[in-house]
Structure 1
């Protein structure tokens, strides 16, 4: 975990450096167990392809969680996120190989708000696709 970010140390327009989150099939199986979402499109390649998908895809909420992880890692406080919302714009396709997929998340301080809060706009990509759109978090800083 990084040091806690202070409100006085950030500025509107400031970029938050990107972070990569690898995704392997085993991560999806573990997430299925934790979430109770055992839809076979998230673990069974044959099934995923029979319903028209290119391959197994990550759970949307798993993808969303990586954006939340990015913000809490940056803020240095897992309880710092006051509000968080996204729209799902594309799938994270997870091939069954050693590389799997990668979700790359970056951010920018969009606004400094009252009470030492900031609005962070996020960008999340996997391969050439933007996988989250309208991703935003209100973060309480020290």
Structure 2
């Protein structure tokens, strides 16, 4: 089975930039005060940012993003992002689960630096 690994990180600066690009200014994505007032441990990365970054493992595997024809995700846990220079490391592994004659079927699993799985049931279909 073939595998593609992507390693990256999320910082608070990246979350603020994503909020501006997406229009998602929910304060749990940049304010510890607001996040903890809601009972969270701290700021969390946007789910769609996590998904978009995880899809880079699939597009890297495909070579051409247009070859990715379908995807689905199930988030296991949110991604906490501390207010420091390093942020949270994210590792995504895309593994071919079906290498028959049809399109490639990939399983996408994302973990953060403490070993917790944050995307446990990601899938992507890549045309040949």
TM bracket (short chain): over 0.9
Match of 2:83, SS? coil
Write the distance in 1 (CA, Å) between the matches of 2:101 and 2:55: 21
Moved over 2 A (4+): 112-115
1:65 maps to what in 2?
52
Unaligned ranges ≥5, structure 2: none
Over aligned residues, Cα RMSD in angstroms?
Answer: 1.3
1:6 maps to what in 2?
none
TM-score (norm. length: structure 1): 0.84
Q: How does 1:81-120 map to 2 (within 5 A)?
A: 81-115=68-102, 117-120=103-106
1:124 maps to what in 2?
110
Q: Deviations over 1:22-73 (max 9, x none)?
A: 1111111111111111000001111111111111100011111111111112
Q: Deviations over 1:51-109 (max 9, x none)?
A: 11111100011111111111112221121210000011101100011110011000211
TM-score (norm. length: structure 2): 0.92
Tell me how far 1:114 sits from its aligned partner.
4.3
Count of aligned residue pairs for this structure pair: 127
